[in-house]
Amino acid sequence: MTQLDIRPEMTMEQILAVAPSAQRALFQRYHIGGCSACGFQPSDTLAQVAKDHNILDLKDIVNTIVTAHELDGKIQVPAATVREWLAANEEFSFIDVRTPDERGEDVVPEAEILDYNDSGKYMGLPKERKLVFLCVDGGRSLDVASYFIGHQFTQVFCLEGGVAGWRA
Q: Identify which of 156, 165, 168 has the alpha carbon closest to the alpha carbon of residue 74.
A: 156
Q: What is the identity of the amino acid at 115? A: D
CA distance 33 to 25: 10
Task: Tell me the β-bridge partners of 134.
Answer: 96
Contact 95, 111 (CB under 8 A): yes
- For the domain with range 78-167, which CATH number is right: 3.30.565.10, 3.30.930.10, 3.40.50.720, 3.40.250.10? 3.40.250.10
User: Mean pLDDT over residues 25-37, rounded?
Assistant: 83
Give the pLDDT score at 11.
96
Res. 109: pLDDT tops 80? yes
What percent of the chain clears pLDDT 70, i.e. is strictly above it? 99
Q: Is the pLDDT of residue 1 over 60?
A: no
- 145-162 pLDDT per residue, tens: 888 888 899 999 999 999
Give percent of the chain above pLDDT 90.
52
Q: Where in the chain are all domains bearing CATH 3.40.250.10?
A: 78-167
Tell me the whole-structure pTM to 2 decimals. Answer: 0.75
Query: In this predicted structure, what is the pLDDT of residue 14?
Result: 95
The confidence score (pLDDT) of residue 2 equals 55
What sign for the dihedral angle of Cα 157, 162, 166, 168? negative
- pLDDT tens for 55-89 read 999 999 999 999 888 888 888 999 999 999 999 99
